[in-house]
Amino acid sequence: STSYFKRGIATREDVSKVNFVNTSRAVQPTVYPELQTQWTDTDLFTQELRLAGSVSLIDFVGGLYYQHEKTGFISDIPIPPGFNEAFNNPIPNFDTLYHGETDSKRKELAAFGQITLNLSERLRITAGLRGFDIKQSFASDNHGYFNGGRSVRNGRSSASGVTPRFGVDYNVSDN
C-alpha cells in the first residue's frame, strides 16, 4: 500500500494578554494589540510491500516498510506598529518579539517476516522478526526579544534494532 499526506496549517491568534503577562511592567505597562502567526507544513509518504501466502501447514507474511516525513514550523510575533512609540521605546535592539523556524525530517525503513505453523485445528505456533532503521534530524533558528537574541540548533538521532515475535495459540473449544 502507498499513502501520501500533505497538510498546511496557518493560524493567527491574539496574544495581547499573554505577552502582557510575559513582559515586565517596565517594558509594557498596559495591554497592547499583538498577533501571533504560526505555519505548519507536513509531508508524509508511506510505502509498504507485502507478500503473504500458505504452503501446506505453514502460513507466511513478509515485507518491506518505508516512511519519509518532513515538517516545517514557523512562529512569528512581530513588534506591532506603534508599540515602541506607545511605551517610550522599551525594546530598541530587537526587530521582532519572537520569530522561530524549525524543520525536521524522519526516515524509517523496516523489513518483517512471520511464519505460522498450523500443527492442528486447535494448535498454532508463530514466529517472526521485524528489523528497523530510523534516522531523524532537525534544524531550528529562533530570535527576538522573547528568545533573548538569536539561537540556532541542529541535531540528529538514529535508532535501529530487531523485534522478535513468538506465540502459541490453542483453541480450547470449537466456539
Contacts of 150 (CB under 8 A, 6+ apart): 141, 142, 143
Q: Quick one: DSSP state of residue 150?
A: -
* pTM of the complete model: 0.79
Rg (CA), the chain: 27
> Beta partners for 100?
75, 142
Q: What is the mean pLDDT of the chain?
A: 92
Three-state secondary-structure class, residue 120: coil
99-147, pLDDT tens digit by residue? Answer: 999 999 999 999 999 999 999 989 999 999 999 999 999 999 999 988 9
CB burial readout 95-131, b (16+ within 10 A) else e: ebbbbbebbbbbbbebebebebebeeeeebeeebebe
30-41, pLDDT tens digit by residue? Answer: 888 888 999 999
Three-state secondary-structure class, residue 175: coil
Nearest to 44 by CA among 67, 74, 60, 73: 67
pLDDT of residue 3: 97
pLDDT of residue 19: 78
